């Protein structure tokens, strides 16, 4: 036969009502009578009572100071500001160091490049001057060699075409020219 859980002293519902102190005077009397004769219930009830007493007598959690939150927030903000400042300072230092190293390095490179450029330009000027000198010298040499070259050419022509009129004309022209040059000099 099923027992009513509300009135069954071994049901969870009954124990809940006992803990809540929701028993009627009659039920309370019945409960005390049951505890007196039921070893298991008496032991569990004693354990429960001890737990209940422990919870009641336990020291309450320490109360936080009224300004704890504001204080903590302020401290965290202060720390964050300090960290940001530190990051800024460290960043600026790193940037300065990099800029300094870069300036030193690129300054050296730049001065080297300028020096190389100057050397190259002056070298070119020297080369150009040498080339011009060579060209001028060559031109002077060609000019002084021109009569000889013309003579060689004329002689070659004469030799190649012994009986031609052109050869005769060339010889006459060359002889006249040579005489003219001799009178001029
Ligand atoms: Zn019992």
CA 145–ligand 1 middle distance (angstroms): 146
Token code pair at residue 124: 């070119």
pLDDT at 148: 82
pLDDT at 163: 61
CA 54–ligand 1 middle distance (angstroms): 24
Cα(148)–Cα(144) distance, integer angstroms: 8
How many other β-carbons are positioned within 10 Å of the β-carbon of residue 170?
Answer: 19
Indicate the SS3 state at residue 147: helix
The answer to whether 65 and 71 are in contact (CB under 8 A) is yes
CA 16–ligand 1 middle distance (angstroms): 14
- Enumerate the domain spans of the chain: 12-57, 71-184
pLDDT at 20: 86
Token code pair at residue 159: 């030799």
pLDDT at 1: 46
pLDDT at 26: 93
Give the mean pLDDT per block of 10 residues along the chain (185 residues). 71 88 92 93 90 81 78 89 90 89 82 83 80 86 81 73 66 83 77
pLDDT at 2: 57
């Amino acid at each position: 036969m099923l027992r009513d859980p509300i009135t069954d002293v071994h049901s969870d519902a009954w124990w809940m009502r006992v803990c809540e102190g929701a028993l009627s005077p009659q039920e309370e009397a019945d409960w005390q009578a049951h505890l007196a004769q039921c070893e298991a219930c008496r032991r569990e009830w004693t354990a429960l009572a001890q737990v209940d007493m422990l919870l009641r007598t336990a020291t309450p959690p320490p109360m936080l100071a009224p300004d704890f939150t504001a204080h903590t927030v302020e401290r965290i903000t202060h720390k964050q500001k300090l960290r940001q400042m530190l990051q800024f300072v460290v960043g600026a230092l790193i940037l300065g160091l990099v800029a300094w190293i870069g300036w030193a390095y690129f300054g050296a490179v730049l001065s080297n490049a300028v020096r190389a450029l100057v050397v190259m330009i002056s070298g070119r000027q020297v080369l150009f001057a040498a080339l011009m000198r060579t060209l001028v010298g060559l031109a002077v040499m060609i000019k002084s060699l021109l009569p000889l070259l013309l003579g060689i050419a004329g002689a070659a022509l004469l030799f190649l075409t012994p009986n031609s009129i052109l050869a005769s004309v060339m010889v006459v022209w060359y002889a006249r020219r040579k005489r003219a040059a001799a009178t001029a000099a």
